[in-house]
Chain A
């Protein structure tokens, strides 16, 4: 079954054509990597999926539901959860309050408690920082909070925008292993990354995006071995 299906999608910022006639698919249970240079339109694509940006044309469906013209509230309600680029944790709110914001669309108190326990299992550090202002966390901790906050919404499809950005190599490894374990516990993942090597190594499939278009696709292994990807994204 397809978790996400995009057909002929175009997105404009005024005159700038940021996503051009793009079609892609993410199957339930997959982890799919989307790689591409700065300004390729990766973040634009994710913001469009989650309903933050209007579409010029094309359609988006998740689990057979058309979400092309849906509001972010509705899309979150369907289980499509977006961890935006640059973490965007709520400063002025404590770590706990940030996590509670993640469960904003949820009503069941005991289910929220369970999700909280799951988040602490993935990110024990957050439990030690519960009452701390999120703005005072380190970059790595903020990234963990951003992912943890998304998990509070019980995502069916998790959209991750450059989770490794600006992190030390050891933290990058940790974040990627957490993404793998989130995926293994049953969440479908669409992973946008600059770190092509890491992303392709954990992905089932991947797409390469250049100036608003998809130019290559294949399994993670195929892409990692393709000459074009090696030359442009893997520095070899």
Chain B
């Protein structure tokens, strides 16, 4: 029994982190029907911002979380404005600029990392290739009113690579450790709860309550829900759709930023590729609960966290990922729209 409760506590901790990241996936999907592959990397950036705040600037944990949230919110909005918005209202010039800038940075970083070139040569190669890419895009893609989902998805993957390589370039590819900030453990009926876990519960709960309040009770939350059901109709109400989408990115990304710092405190270790594993789990959590549905992401996050720790605790941690996937597949077969998803029946 004690072991069971212990696994629940551990599962809820890691599940909190999955849930916070999953919320960003689900909110962005809800509003622009894009699976934002770069979201896991925003979370990674949040972990690094927290790391720098705590280790270099000696900030308290709470102010580090706040800093990471603000930084990630701005980063999320920048990604949306620079990479996704030009695809939503495409103009040829916008596509050219996006391909040029994204292409340059990406090719530069890859060239430096793989070919071991110096800055100058990597820059020259990147410039030539990205110009070629820009013109290729300019002459082959004709912007239509209808945004192309696949183009947006590929762009998201590009942004994801970009954030990972950029972080490697800045911080180096190795693991880093958070300085130990929150030692200490409380024991409750034989179950051990670390102070870090308590912090995770409190922060996650607080953020979820604030988010629910914003989405359900405020004017901007109502606008976010309206845009996600019918963006054109919302525009006819005088809603600035682009601004509402930016705010959604800001909120989702700030939650990921908080999750990044929390995971750093919990596991003490971070690296530029951490966004992939956690991002994928959180994405599964979002699908599990019903993508686009906010309570679904919370439920999905906790469910996956608890499943993982249970499998690892009672069986073997080798199987935990496999079991999570199997559960996902079963859910998707039984209820394709996810645990809390409505089976869509379009009203004509």
Contact = CB atoms under 8 A, between A and B. Distances in A.
Is the pairing of A and B real? yes
Interface of A: 13-14, 50-52, 71-73, 76-77, 81-82, 84, 88-93, 97, 100-102, 104-105, 135, 149, 153
B229 interface: yes
Nearest to B230: A88
B303 to A, nearest CB: 23
B232 A84 contact: yes
Contacts of B347: 91, 135
B238 A76 contact: yes
Interface of B: 144-145, 219, 222-223, 225-226, 229-230, 232-240, 347
A90 B235 CA distance: 12
B237 A14 contact: no
B240 A88 contact: no
A93 B226 contact: yes
Given A91-B347, A104-B223, A50 B236 contact: yes
Contacts of B222: 93, 97, 100-101
5 shortest interchain CB distances as A-B pairs: A105-B238, A76-B238, A88-B233, A72-B235, A104-B237
A77 B233 contact: no
A135 B229 CA distance: 11
Contacts of B233: 84, 88-90
A104 B226 CA distance: 11
Given A14-B144, A135-B347, A105 B237 contact: yes
15 contacts: A14-B145, A76-B238, A77-B238, A90-B225, A90-B229, A92-B229, A93-B222, A93-B226, A97-B222, A100-B222, A101-B226, A102-B237, A104-B239, A149-B237, A153-B238
A142 B280 CA distance: 40
Nearest to A103: B237
B232 A101 contact: no
Contact of A84 (B145, B219, B236): B236
B235 A73 contact: yes
A90 B230 contact: yes
A93 B215 CA distance: 11
B226 to A, nearest CB: 5
A88 B232 contact: yes
Contacts of B145: 13-14
Contacts of A82: 236
B229 A73 contact: no
Given A72-B236, A76-B236, A153-B238, 15 more contacts: A51-B235, A71-B240, A73-B238, A88-B230, A88-B236, A92-B225, A93-B225, A101-B222, A101-B226, A101-B237, A104-B223, A104-B238, A104-B239, A105-B238, A149-B237
B223 to A, nearest CB: 7
A100 B217 CA distance: 12
A53 to B, nearest CB: 8
A73 B239 contact: yes
Nearest to B347: A135
B311 to A, nearest CB: 35
Contacts of A101: 222-223, 226, 234, 237, 239
Contacts of A102: 237
- Candidate in A50, A97, A104, A105 with the most chain B CB atoms within 10 angstroms: A104
Nearest to A136: B347
B238 A72 contact: yes
A187 B234 CA distance: 22
Nearest to A93: B225
Nearest to A106: B238
A93 B229 contact: yes
A44 to B, nearest CB: 12
A46 to B, nearest CB: 10
Contacts of B239: 73, 101, 104
Nearest to A77: B238
A81 B229 contact: no
Contacts of A92: 225, 229
B296 to A, nearest CB: 13
A81 B144 contact: no
A102 B237 CA distance: 5
B240 A73 contact: yes
A65 B226 CA distance: 29
Contacts of A14: 144-145
A91 B238 contact: no
Nearest to A52: B232
